Structure 1
């Protein structure tokens, strides 16, 4: 991105603004530059990273939108709120004072909503009024094409039919177009004395991956190749077979290629609109005083274990992008130490100079922007009554029925080889999981229990 000039030496210091950007269902993009023989194209994220810190081992605290965003926006573990799936609304569980945005507003910031940052893109009026300084905004969500638009659309095949609108037609239909336009208007027009906190919540690359046709046409579907070590569906336990069923359509190579093309195209579509907003920021009066933070709520399987979905506790459902750009420290860094998305709020409060508790200070990632290493700590994630931790190079999962899996995610990034209880790392990892649970009030489910029905795809 364009680098702002340094302020004059005699300029009075100002509190920084912050642009918070969220993608929806977005895997951490870096592995997908080389995984499939043709790269995921996100040129604006790539450009941002040339002057930013990229946290490459950031993990969501839940592999589905509602619980993940609830945890990230309140700095609260999912088991503490009881929001473990999309059936509960975090605003009905805790007060708005638990949301760190309320503290930014109380510190004198002009807080401006914009798109999907919370599970609901448009909050109820009392909640919005408590957190934001401006009016609510409603953008149409791209879960389906209206009949009048679908008639003239194109089908590219694959998962959910790979629909696309013809280029130059219905561009204003898209959520990301509307959200980006709103953010651009804000950046061009804001002249308030208060520093601002502004959101850009994108819908991409969430299913059904509808885009303008040019974003699907930028990928040659024949160029996609599955990794050689993928071995189809794996169900090591009865629990996995019952609760994480195979996406059988993905046995077909053509269907897999087209489906991954659809997901990549949706990611590129969101990146395109991010680029529009970053360009507007670079041209605005706010460029040299605005922090940029990019994250996603959770990841998505793109075919490993023959899965095309979220809601698992494997890496692909949990590993998300986290990128922080500071105009006063435009140094490119890559952080591979595991960190938790629950650090989002403390990091932002720290960057904005807002007072924090000792616990929040410990969670802040700000020191890592200046070369500090992350302390080796347990990074937990949850789905319903199952729990996992990442610690060092290993991930251990305890499912609701009491069964376990253990993976060396550095040697086995697709989690194709369960090391099992006989591995030397199993005992220490199980002890670390149990210690974290004891210290944080987490109660394991009884062996043999069941989570019930799986989560619907649109969650």
Structure 2
């Protein structure tokens, strides 16, 4: 086997928060040992942001390297392949350069494989079908743990293979164990976890003592009244009623789902390390967007706040096996340019993302402006601030270094407000959205 260029293993989580911020945030420690051991010799971007706070638009954006305004996609009713040819996806640049491209789970939107005519334009292998976790198969032995969407867990280990992530991992492991082509490979590993309804084998819920979960003390200070988003993203009735047990169960469900995905990530990682490809494979891990875990009385996505805009973004390069944290803001639009740069390919001139390779080697860009777009408006992260401009022109300004949960709107009289509004307008325009200041 001869592979001169690096292989690429692209791993995606679904609805995953930027987990390192949450390790002990709620009292109970989040258990993700495989993410931890990967990060022990990888670069972790702790201020990485999606460009849309919902699955379909975010994945359309980071897989095409185009921003939501460039695509005109802001919700799950639109399909990127109705807007762009499949050959416009950045991964096709790898295929054109001689890579063997293999699918494996949810990287593009939805859990089913792409329609055949799109699949054949992007991948060299056959379509793969995995059982999604939206509904448990009938007849399984199961236990209800309560909380958001019931918190079901299967009790018999023989049923572990019914889960989407088990099947995705099995497929990836088989690929890593058997691939012996002359061409370098690009392989996708798209996990379901921790997307709702957070069904898992029961042992992953039993990893956590539900009574150990405690809301942050600062939540008692409340959050700003935000009538503009109340209709768009309604607060949860149980959370507004202060039902602490339901919140604890719900966060336990989310943590257990992330631990379940981490378990299967570890299986894939072990297979890679045991394979002939270990020293010649770039591994990149991302998620499509984050999630509210009870803050603002919400257990949902869709908003423009830090908790939903922030995502995991990890790069493991066998030539740079050292732990490194980058706090400068980066974008999911950087995914394609970064992968292509690693393997010696140039990005397209019309892409607004940039390669993160210089940051892997010590360069810094602390003042970069990274936007997130929704039907409701635009939000940016710049320096220590998150600035939001809603569709009706209202704004919010938060210092997310001192106020992670964005409880204190600094208001239009803050000395940075004008400069941040200007930065938001300029960034939106650079990403295809022309708005008034």
Unaligned runs of 5+ in 2: none
Return closer, same or farther for 1:440/1:169 CA change in 2, 3 Å cut-off.
closer
Q: 1:189 aligns with which of 178, 188, 211?
A: 178
Shift of 1:242: 2.5
| CA apart distance, 1:171 | 1.1
Equivalences for residues 181-220 of structure 1 within 5 A: 181-220=170-209
For 1:286-435, what aligned pairs fall within 5 Å after superposition? 286-357=277-348, 363-374=354-365, 376-435=367-426
Give 1:136's aligned residue.
Answer: 127
CA distance in 1, matches of 2:358, 2:351: 13
Q: 1-side partners of 2:185 and 2:3: how far apart?
A: 15
Does the 8 Å CA contact 1:350/1:361 hold for their aligned counterparts?
no
**Other-structure match for 1:40:** 30
| Alignment deviations for residues 356-414 of structure 1 (CA, whole Å, 9 cap, x no partner) | 34665970001111111136221010111411111111111111222111111111011
* 2:8 pairs with 1:24: no
How far does residue 440 in structure 1 lie from its aligned partner after superposition? 4.1
Tell me the matched-pair count.
Answer: 434
Residue segments in structure 1 that go unaligned for 5+ positions in a row? 1-10, 447-459
Where 1:363 maps in the other structure, the secondary structure is coil
Aligned-partner Cα distance in 1 for 2:427–2:164: 40
Contact kept, 8 Å, 1:400 with 1:445, in 2: the verdict is no
Distance 1:199 1:102, change over 3 A: same
- The within-5 A match list for 1:6-25 is 14-25=4-15
CA contact (8 A) 1:387 1:398 kept: yes
Superposition RMSD in Å: 1.8
For residues 437 and 208 of structure 1, the distance between their equivalents in structure 2, rounded to whole angstroms, comes to 34
Residue 95 of structure 1: which of 85, 95, 103 is its match? 85
Q: Where in structure 2 are the equivalents of 1:117-196 lying within 5 Å?
A: 117-121=107-111, 122-149=113-140, 152-196=141-185
Give 3-state SS (helix, strand or coil) of 2:217's partner: coil
Task: Give, in whole Å, the separation in 2 of the partners of 1:232 and 1:162.
Answer: 29
TM-aligned CA distance change 1:368 to 1:316, over 3 Å: same
1:54-91 deviation line (CA, Å, top 9, x unaligned): 00000000111000001100110101111111110001
Say whether the 8 Å CA contact 2:333–2:352 is kept in structure 1. Answer: no
- Cα contact 1:49–1:323 (8 A) shared by 2: yes
Q: Compared with structure 1, are the counterparts of its residues 309 and 270 closer, same or farther at alpha carbon in structure 2 (3 Å cutoff)?
A: same
The CA distance in 1 between the partners of 2:386 and 2:369, in whole Å, is 10
Distance 1:12 1:183 in 2: 21
**SS, match of residue 230 in structure 1:** helix
Name the CA distance, whole Å, in 2 between partners of 1:69 and 1:13: 29
Cα offset for 1:234?
3.5
Deviations 1:13-53 (A, max 9, x none): 82111111000000011011120111111100000011100
Return the alpha-carbon distance in structure 2 between the equivalents of residues 104 and 380 of structure 1: 27
Match of 2:48 among 58, 80, 83: 58
User: TM-score by structure 2 length?
Assistant: 0.96
Could you tell me how far apart the structure 2 residues matched to 1:195 and 1:275 are?
23
Provide the residue aligned with 1:450 in structure 2.
Answer: none
Q: Relative to 1, partners in 2 of residues 1:131 and 1:417: Cα closer, same or farther, differing over 3 Å?
A: same
Closer/same/farther in 2, CA of residues 123 and 18 from structure 1, 3 Å limit: same
Equivalent residue in structure 1 for 2:65, among 57, 70, 75: 75
Whole-Å separation in 2 of the counterparts to 1:181 and 1:269: 14
Aligned equivalents of 1:115, 1:189: Cα separation in 2: 18
CA distance 1:361–1:41, shift in 2 (3 Å): same
